[in-house]
Amino acid sequence: MNSINQVTVQTGTKVSQTAVVVAPLGRDAELICALLQRSSIECVSVPTVSDAMQRLISAGVLVIAEEALTPRLILELAEVLRNQPPWSDIPIVLLTLPGEVTKESQRRRSLREPLGNVLLLERPSRPETLISSVRSALRARARQYQIRDQMEQYQHAEEALRKSEKLAVAGRLAASIAHEINNPLESVTNLLYLMQSCASDPQMIAYGRLAEQELARVTEIAKQTLQFYREPSPHAPTHVADVLESVLQLYGPRLAGRHVTVEKELQRGAPVTASAGELRQLFANLIGNALDAMRNGGRLRIRTRPAREQAHPRRYGVRISVADTGTGIPQHLRKRIFEPFVTTKGDTGTGLGLWVTSEIVEKYSGRIFLRSSAHPQRSGTVFHVFLPYRSAGNGDAVSETMKAAS
Ligand SMILES: Nc1ncnc2c1ncn2[C@@H]1O[C@H](COP(=O)(O)OP(=O)(O)O)[C@@H](O)[C@H]1O
Ligand SMILES: [Mg+2]
């Protein structure tokens, strides 16, 4: 027998196909349920209409005996029905009292009007009539669940779109700011040079040189920002250790200012085929986050060494670890950390750093994972990155290169 207790709609979501029965007199509820269950229709009986109202959203159909409805309950039920979510219009099968049209029955009919999606079955009704009415109500309800799922899908799609728009806006904004900064930077750099050549006071010359150095850093940052949002630089053999050195240089003053000691263990090894700009972005994000996590000083340890990928021992590449003794990442955050816009830094964070980082790692068929402890006495975080010498598709050539290097 083909059970219709649960209908799987197109989206794969299960929907409720339960008839909720309210029939307070005698054994009515029991008999109705037995009848429906014999026809493979799932059924629960509840004592009052108020109980049925509480199950409204999860019910497939309400089967209500008219005597369970008082005028006050009809008004309450009408109110609950009005407040259903937009997709929901729960079908009600109302088992009316038998008899001729009287003033009383007319009054009851006008009272029921606000109930909407109601099918009247006069008692005594034939079992088949009741079963087929409940079945068609359940079928209509299944369509409503389908609409609910579609509405949810639209909502998700809309959210994703909004996020990607936000990303595009953030990217464009950063690029345009970097671009705007570039021109005055060049002028100030030139002016500083001229001032130094005119100055005779050695102190003035020293200050000028310092200002020039700081400005060079700003120029580098603007250049990197622009580089990232423009087409990345072409793929070329790139030494990860060199990229790390240049990023550390960029962060040097900030690390020193925070009393962070840096321990480097950079084995140069063989180069990876990658865009230097993207690799710089990747490591700048990891080191920048480590710095943010060490407000009161600490230790930053950076290692690179040739390695094989754990899951695919024939894939050779570089393993990089960036470890800090910062605050650590709370357990609940770890799962979501690579999603865009996840940040704990309020207005100063974008939540895009690790997302970009993971995108870059993925682009090069690499792996990234982290270990972290937020324990007060021994807190810290380490990010491990594995970058294959070549991205997927060049496996054999990769192995050969690495074998030669190791
Ligand atoms: N090394 C780290 N130590 C502690 N927390 C970190 C570290 N790296 C990342 N995080 C956490 O992950 C969040 C997301 O990082 P990220 O994607 O770079 O965005 P944001 O720039 O906003 O910090 C951060 O807000 C921070 O809470
Ligand atoms: Mg960050």
In the chain, where the domains are located:
7-155, 157-214, 234-405
Dist. CA 48–CA 20, nearest whole Å: 11
Give the pLDDT score at 162: 67
Asked if residue 293 lies in contact with residue 256, where contact means CB atoms within 8 angstroms, the answer is no
Average pLDDT (103-118) is: 80
Average pLDDT (173-180) is: 75
Radius of gyration of the chain (CA): 35
pLDDT band at residue 352, thresholds of 50, 70 and 90?
confident
401 in ligand 1 pocket by Cβ < 6 Å? Answer: no
pLDDT band at residue 10, thresholds of 50, 70 and 90?
very low
Measured by CA distance, the residue closest to atom 27 of ligand 1 is: 344
Least confident of 114-118, 189-193, 392-396: 392-396
Q: Given a cut of 70, is residue 17 above it in pLDDT?
A: yes
Give the pLDDT score at 394: 42
Average pLDDT (294-312) is: 94
Q: Give CATH for domain 7-155.
A: 3.40.50.2300
Distance from residue 272's CA to the centre of ligand 1 (Å): 26
Give the pLDDT score at 138: 94
Q: Given a cut of 70, is residue 230 above it in pLDDT?
A: no
342 in ligand 1 pocket by Cβ < 6 Å? Answer: yes
pTM for the whole structure: 0.49
361 in ligand 1 pocket by Cβ < 6 Å? Answer: no
CA angle in degrees (0–180, nearest 5) for 339-340-345: 100
Respond yes or no on whether the N-terminal peptide bond of residue 24 is cis (omega within 30° of 0): no
Asked if residue 280 lies in contact with residue 243, where contact means CB atoms within 8 angstroms, the answer is yes
Q: How far is CA 175 from CA 96, 167, 199, 225, 289, in A?
A: 70, 12, 36, 6, 21
Q: Given a cut of 60, is residue 188 above it in pLDDT?
A: yes
pLDDT more than 90, % of the chain:
43
Asked if residue 341 lies in contact with residue 324, where contact means CB atoms within 8 angstroms, the answer is no
Residues around the ion ligand 2 (C-beta < 5 A): 289, 353
Q: Given a cut of 60, is residue 44 above it in pLDDT?
A: yes
Q: Which of the two residues, 57 and 60, has the higher pLDDT score?
A: 60
Q: Given a cut of 80, is residue 404 above it in pLDDT?
A: no
- CATH superfamily label, 234-405: Histidine kinase-like ATPase, C-terminal domain (3.30.565.10)
Distance from residue 343's CA to the centre of ligand 1 (Å): 6
Least confident of 175-179, 241-245, 394-398: 394-398
